[in-house]
Amino acid sequence: MNERNFASGRVGTPAPHQKAVPQRPGDTVRAVTSLRKSSLATPTDRFLAGAGPTHPVLAVILGAAFIAVGQMVVALPVQLIAPHLSATASGIALLCSFIPVWILIWAWLRFAEHRPPRSIGLAGRRADILLGIGIAFLILIVDAVAMAACGQVRFHWSGMRPAALAGVVGLLVLFAIQGSAEEAAIRGYLMQTVAARWGVWAGLVAQAVIFAVLHGSNPGVTPVALGNVAAFGVMLGLLVLWRGDLWAAMGFHAVWNWAQGLVLGFDVSGLGFGGSALTQTPAAGSSVTLTGGSFGAEGSVITLIVLVVLIVALGWAWRRSLRAR
């Protein structure tokens, strides 16, 4: 690796005399295939090789628009009948609203940039999903144990019947659609495009900021919650750069939201999903700063502390992967 590129954050970007990104249909596929076969390419190089020709500013707008517009397709009609829906039905409708997000991403990549969806980080090791799942459970276990040990919340079995538990497990599929759509739009398309043209640090910051902005109007949001969402963005961005694909981030996102809401009984980014395997009750005099309040565990300063530790660890792992060739 070129040390100048590493210091500037422009990891894996072309030299000045080269094209910044593939410009013709098929170039992206050939670039990704070539780099994945090369023993000299780092995971970050392989991830950035798939970037398309769209200008970074437009990519930032599109990344946010994929999610905002895609959700509106389902969310607006659902709002008309929302008063007649249960919390669980409303939650399912919200998760289904991310299906159009995937359609918009696919359509843009296919017809505007002439590249396949796998070019945004879907051509790597699918086993990385397990890594993301492990990180999600790690944070949730630390959060739950710390909150209970500090006397902030109490967890109880909800008395959910086996049939309902089967439904909880089945809903993981919808959470996978929701989480993977956000990762494809923000960490895949947006970060990849910005980082390939303006450098890794610009891509990392841009996606974290947009990720926080998209959650800024959620119910129960606080300054700590927004800081946490941005920190989640940085952590997941580093995870993508380290592994060179989206699979770990997708696994994390799906299981984090699912387990937080339907296993531990927290609200998820301020949104409730009805029944859960466990119920958690804030203790008398509990601190919203520690419990996250109505925003859920994502609004807790305990989560922020764990995220900072993970960011340092993943940052170290990523830098090491850059120097390993």
Q: Give dist(CA 241, CA 294) in Å, integer.
A: 32
Confidence of residue 20 (pLDDT cuts 50, 70, 90): very low
Single-letter amino acid code for the residue at 71: Q
pLDDT at residue 270 tops 70: yes
> According to the model, what pLDDT value does residue 276 have?
86
Paired tokens of 92: 């399912």
Q: Is the pLDDT of residue 282 over 70?
A: yes
pLDDT at 13: 46
pLDDT at residue 36, as a whole number: 55
3-class state of residue 12 by DSSP: coil
**pLDDT (tens digit per residue) in 151-210:** 999 999 987 877 778 888 888 988 999 999 999 999 999 999 999 999 999 999 999 999
Q: What is the structure's pLDDT at 160?
A: 80
Could you count the other beta carbons within 10 Å of the beta carbon of residue 226?
A: 18
Predicted local distance difference test score (pLDDT) of residue 164: 79
Strands annotated E in the chain: 153-157, 278-282
CA 184, CA 120: separation in Å to the nearest integer? 7
pLDDT digits (tens, 9 = 90+) for 204-222: 999 999 999 999 999 999 9
What is d(CA 261, CA 177) in angstroms, rounded to the nearest whole number?
Answer: 16
Average pLDDT over residues 115-138: 96
Nearest 5°: the CA angle 198, 117, 249 is: 70
Whole-number pLDDT of residue 19: 44
CA contacts within 13 A on the Cβ side of 70: 28
The reported pLDDT for the residue numbered 288 is 93
Q: Does residue 12 surpass a pLDDT of 50?
A: no
Burial class (CB in 10 A: 0-12, 13-18, 19+), 50: buried
Separation of CA 288 from chain center = 24
Q: What is the pLDDT of residues 58-107, one digit of tens each?
A: 999 999 999 999 888 876 676 666 566 666 676 677 778 899 999 999 99
Average per-residue pLDDT for the chain: 87
For the four alpha carbons of 179, 159, 299 and 86, in that order, the dihedral sign comes to: positive
pTM (2 d.p.):
0.86
Contact 42, 320 (CB under 8 A): no
| DSSP β-bridge partners for residue 154 | 281
Q: Are strands 278-282 and 153-157 parallel, antiparallel or unpaired?
A: antiparallel
